[in-house]
Chain A
Amino acid sequence: MSDQNDKILEQARQFIEAIPHSRALGMQMDEIRPGCATLSMPYDTRFVGDPRTGVIHGGAVSALMDTCAGAAVMSHPQAGASTATLDLRIDYMRPATPGQRITARAECYHVTRSVAFVRATTHDEDAERPVATATGAFTVSRPDKPKSEGQA
């Protein structure tokens, strides 16, 4: 069981770290456990939305949360090895402080045979006040053939 989990987690980590766009944004996986993932990315002036304020564009925050939510789904023992976003709603609470690293934490809190439900929160170096939150629905990959017993 734990070996199986370790395999899933390692697969999810490898997948996330190989995503070209995640690499372009400098995303780093800080933690992964079944159904939960934490990803962070550095501040970069190329990702700014408004040069007058230096605040990171909402789209970059979306990219981090979408990736993090996907990682949470892939790390879930029931959700299968690959996933795609069906919908994602992002609420922006406050601008991220310029110069600070942003960190997203996602939890895949429910999985059916077809859909994985995820919520995520992003904060900067002030972990007490969220920058943005998200809720999303993701696809669950269906194995074509039933796998051997022991497969969750």
Chain B
Amino acid sequence: MSRPKPEPVQQVKQRRDGALKMLVEGIPYAQFLGIGFDRRGDELTGVLSYDDKLIGNPMLPAIHGGVTAAFLEVTAIIELSWSYLWDDIEAGRIDFDALTPESLPRLPKTIDFTVDYLRSGLPRDAYARARVNRSGRRYASVHVEAWQDNRTRIFAQATGHFLMPARDDTSANG
């Protein structure tokens, strides 16, 4: 019995990176803030590229608390969407070549979001990673933390609850 030939790595990368790009570029506000994502396998890291317009306190200077909150929220939403789209992405069920707003997968809706500001955000790039603590049919709970120069010195963290989008296949699969 012969095993199926492994998929060429370039094809795998193209599919995953294409799906991620589609997700992130589908959020105008993420583009406005300059948020991008790095991917290692299924692990995502949000990257907030520094820009002067992100400043909230010009005297310190420090990144605006609202920017930090938005960066954490975008990272949480992308991570959550990524986690439930992964199977569809891997099965090639998402056509990311046809990039139209209508073809984008539905995003979860934020119910509430609690941000914990631990230290001020410095005027430089910031990174964030989210962890889906619970993902049910209707609700999900996601934790996210952000850092700058040192991974262990978190400058903000947040927990949010999200309403999951209706799945098209709910009736079919029960």
Contacts and interface: CB of A to CB of B under 8 A. Distances in A.
Interface of A: 18-24, 45-52, 56-60, 62-67, 70, 82, 84-92, 95
A89 B64 contact: no
Nearest to A133: B112
A48 B114 contact: no
A140 to B, nearest CB: 15
Nearest to A137: B117
Contacts of A20: 52-56, 58, 64
B49 interface: no
Contacts, number: 135
Nearest to B101: A51
A90 B69 contact: yes
Given A48-B28, A82-B59, A92 B109 contact: yes
Contacts of A45: 28
B24 interface: no
A96 to B, nearest CB: 13
A19 B114 contact: no
A143 to B, nearest CB: 16
A58 B108 CA distance: 12
B86 interface: no
B113 interface: yes
Interface residues of B, number: 40
Nearest to A19: B56
B107 A59 contact: no
Contact of A19 (B28, B57, B109, B120): B57
B112 A57 contact: no
Contacts of B18: none
B29 A46 contact: yes
A57 B27 contact: yes
A50 B27 contact: yes
A58 B29 CA distance: 9
A131 to B, nearest CB: 12
A92 B111 contact: yes
B53 A63 contact: no
B27 A21 contact: no
A92 to B, nearest CB: 5
